[in-house]
Chain A
């Protein structure tokens, strides 16, 4: 099925499999590093979105609208091709001198983090807004600063609420790394394309990449499920048997 992966590459000694694994390495590195930045920045911006300070709220709103509404492929293009041209010429020249593959990895990381952070911020905001308003007032009445209220009362609950949507976001960042091929980072999709161009085994090359993406997504799903259970507030579990409405006739028939 995937025998093309065990052929040696054109003009070289290694197997096509090593290309695919190298691509996988870049995909994972970009996604994990991007998620670290996006998560931290997303929480900060998300809190700022719900801040009582008008200036902070407007600034964070602006950030979200700009970075969420421009397609990620355009953002990466801007960071890679346009940024060095608009910087002062010395700085621009320095940026262009960053040796490959870091010269493409860093703009990709920047673009991906800022884009994902805007999306995470909106979810954090939604999580905070889902909490009863009284909690904010009560914590201030107890003498907490606004920072303290967020750190100790609001965020710990909000982040637990939005765990399921964050799972989608982590899966999303793994898939969005493929956009980095447009600025020349040889991640998983780029390597699959490359193998296809050299061997014309389209189904094998992209089939292998598909399976790897699927396994990645499932691994992320598993890890996030574990985190979700681990951090769950006791008594808040929504187990299958609890979904049934008590005294519902149909449900009663279904569950012995």
Chain B
């Protein structure tokens, strides 16, 4: 190899070595808000119904409403009625780095709380309990998980379902063939096109895709015996004061019944932009969490 080649390798290597593993922001969120008089919410552009863009391209949703309640509490506690609230769009790859480095103070999306993520961020008490389900083509003749034997399924790249599907396949010896589509939209396209007979993903996401699909009636949801997944709002790690404030607001809403009203508004009524209704009644697991709010994961 020539001198230039070696130089190029050295340059890139040096760049990578010098790169910080994320500039860590200090944990004191309330102090930061007080000093800068601004608070930044992170929202998702299409995480229905938690946080998404409405017809006017404004972020709305279940998690956004909860976040507004937290903002109100922050204003009151810091005595800052003129607090400026910024909204920043985040996606599934950058949401954690942006919370960690201090760009976003609260992520108001639908993010699953798990042990790997807890190493980097912390979560409020659970605001939603999800469970992975199979969305199955009615014409595939699949009535129970065992019927999937030897069939082709689809999962979304980077989703937790990738691991679940693999474990499920190994445990039940189903010889599944797996397509990994780029995002949820393409997973649905793969299922609609008939390349796969079933799609494994969180129940609420599947309900949204099914409600949105032109021929939603030709798909059915099928349980697969997977563990529950707890969603929460994402906060910076090791900031007990701010987490206490956020948890207090959510627990208060759960106690007064305001949380149930919000749930009805976003999960069981027509929502913008097209007036789609998810018809997703509250699960028993979520009822338990409303009775005794907690950020525990099973």
Contacts and interface: CB of A to CB of B under 8 A. Distances in A.
Interface of A: 1, 9-12, 81, 84-85, 93, 96, 99-100, 103-104, 181-184, 186, 190, 193-194, 196-204, 207, 210-211, 214-215, 218, 221-222
A11 B155 CA distance: 15
Contacts, number: 97
B194 A11 contact: no
A213 B126 CA distance: 41
6 contacts: A100-B178, A198-B116, A203-B19, A203-B21, A207-B16, A215-B9
Interface string B130-169: 0000000000000000000000100001111011101100
B51 interface: no
B78 to A, nearest CB: 30
Interface residues of B, number: 41
A218 B1 contact: yes
B117 interface: yes
A24 to B, nearest CB: 17
B179 A104 contact: yes
Given A12-B163, A99-B152, A186-B157, A93 B194 contact: yes
Given A100-B178, A197-B158, 20 more contacts: A10-B160, A11-B167, A12-B166, A181-B182, A193-B157, A197-B92, A197-B157, A199-B116, A200-B96, A200-B97, A200-B116, A200-B120, A202-B97, A203-B19, A203-B21, A203-B22, A218-B5, A218-B8, A218-B9, A221-B5
Contacts of A10: 116, 160, 163
Nearest to A82: B193
Interface of B: 1, 5, 8-9, 12-13, 16-17, 19-22, 92-93, 96-97, 116-117, 120, 152, 157-160, 162-164, 166-167, 177-182, 186, 189-190, 193-195
A193 B177 contact: no
Contacts of B93: 193, 196-197, 202
A201 B16 CA distance: 13
A182 B92 CA distance: 16
A10 B16 CA distance: 25
